[in-house]
Amino acid sequence: MEARRPKTLETRFSLTPWILIAASLAKPALARDGEEQTVVTFTVNQAVELALAVNPEVLQVREKTAEFGELVREAKSEALPQVSAALSIRKTRDPGLRNSPFFTRFAGGGGDPPPPGIFDAFFFTNYVWNVDVSQPIFTFGRVSNAMNAAREERGGVDLDVRAVENRISFDVVRACYAYLLAQHNLRVLETERGSRERQLEQVQVRFELQDATKLDVLRARVALANLQPVVLAADNTLQVARASVNNTLGRPIDAPIEVVAELSVPDPIPSVMRTEALLEIAGQRRPEMRRFAVDRKVLDARVGVTKSDLMPQIRATAGFGVNTFGASNVSDLALHTWNAGINFDWKLFDGHRTRSRVAALRSQKTQNEYDEQTFRDQLSVDLKEANGTWIRALEALEVTLLAVDQAREAERVAEESMKWGAATSLDVLQATLSVREAEFNQTTAAHDALVALAQMKYLVGFRADAPNSVIEQPRRISGAGASTLDEGSQP
């Protein structure tokens, strides 16, 4: 039985995803004693939708799409005209007359005397405004490669968004299944505690009737006392699992929840593809795999941008303005100046700087290929492990179903035999322990199977809550001699 907070009124209700999102964004404070707490009930799919709507990591990577959209516009701006306007007012002191070749004629004597102040510097104010326009004519691939790099990186960010969403969805699904497992285990222990309490009562009655020994009573008490730490540990595990779920959903970690799901393998059992087929789908669907190819395209484009530094740059320029010594003439267009021309700029040698940068980019491309191979190898290992866990869990689940029936029947027989003195309290205790172990094994096997199923979906590039058909074997149409994929199984 699930442990609940004392002095708390719980109201259970189901929420649609958008209401869940609103409830999460509201961030309600933890209820104090005597205040009402609401138990939020949701399915695993609703939990995933909520997490993808409020998780900070998802929101951050989504915001990058806007950033790289602007980077594409920035790269495109290099191909557009550049217009600039400038205004300057400059006061100048100029001793130019002293440097004049005619100065010696005045200083040598003869003729009329020089005018007053001839040896003083003179001052003037210069007013200049102008508008300049520059338009690239040919950049030898600099602009086009920069735009290609920005576009490819923009597509890479979309893949990053999908990768984060898939990982968060797997974390949510795994946290929900862990919560269900902890909840079930606590419920089993609570049931066992009730059974041991009844056994203690029966032994005490028999002891009073002198049909049992004091050792039987002590054994029953010890068995009940030994169970208490196990129950407390299971309750703590449940609290941690609840906190993990709430953390992935952006809710207060102690907020009460109820996950509407069963720890049982889907019926019929999905026929999962072989590891080789799953790896092939992952090559087409997994965002991280596709990101490697995008990164190489970006590096190729950056190589083109870098090479253009040693290519000629042809640009058309034009300017118009006014240059005057009087403030009253600033708007007089009769004093205008203009210029127009074509600039040809070619950097012939830069000390091998561009060559080194190109070599470094090509080295990064080679490293990217090695990283992709490493990732693919690890992905293959992870898929084999998840597929093996799935198969092993199914086999274990089939065995545990029989073991649970057997253990329950053995417990019933032991309890009946104890009533008639044909069995001891130790026999009943051992039978109860067998039931608990069998039920734990059954639930753990179902949990492992569901987690492995969700992990395989995540590994091949789907959300962990996607339909099982996405990783199932294609079904053949009888008599048609051809195979068709189930709905949703197309990569």
Each residue's pLDDT, cut to its tens digit, for the chain (491 residues) gives 334 333 333 333 444 444 455 444 444 444 444 455 688 889 999 999 999 998 888 888 888 887 777 777 777 777 788 899 999 988 887 776 555 555 555 555 555 666 666 666 667 788 898 999 998 888 787 888 888 888 888 888 899 999 999 999 999 999 999 999 999 989 888 888 887 888 788 778 878 877 778 887 888 888 889 889 989 999 999 999 999 999 988 888 888 989 998 888 888 888 999 999 999 999 999 999 999 999 999 999 889 888 888 888 888 899 999 888 888 888 888 888 888 999 888 888 888 888 898 999 999 999 999 999 999 999 999 999 999 999 999 998 888 888 877 877 887 877 777 677 666 666 777 777 787 788 888 888 999 999 999 999 999 999 999 999 999 887 654 443 343 333 333 33
DSSP assignment of 61-93 equals: HHHHHHHHHHHHHHHHGGGS-EEEEEEEEEEEE
pLDDT at site 112: 62
Residue 394 CA to residue 265 CA, distance in Å, equals: 8
Residue 441 CA to residue 403 CA, distance in Å, equals: 9
Contacts of 440 by beta carbon, 8 Å cutoff, 6+ apart? 185, 188
Residue tagged 């205790």 (tokens): 429
pLDDT at site 326: 82
pLDDT at site 144: 81
What CATH code would you report for 10-67+148-297+357-484?
1.20.1600.10
Residue 21 CA to residue 87 CA, distance in Å, equals: 55
DSSP 3-state helix, strand, coil percentages of the chain (rounded to 5)? 60, 15, 25
Kindly provide the residue ranges of all beta strands, DSSP E only, lying in 242-390, ordered along the sequence: 257-259, 313-324, 336-345
Please state the domain extents for the chain. 10-67+148-297+357-484
pLDDT at site 15: 46
Read off φ and ψ for residue 382, nearest 5 degrees.
Answer: -65, -40
Verify cis geometry, omega within 30 degrees of 0, for the bond prior to 268: yes
pLDDT at site 32: 47
pLDDT at site 118: 60
DSSP 8-state symbol, 352: T
pLDDT at site 306: 86
Residue 110 CA to residue 473 CA, distance in Å, equals: 116
Contact between 469 and 488 under an 8 Å Cβ cutoff? The reply is yes
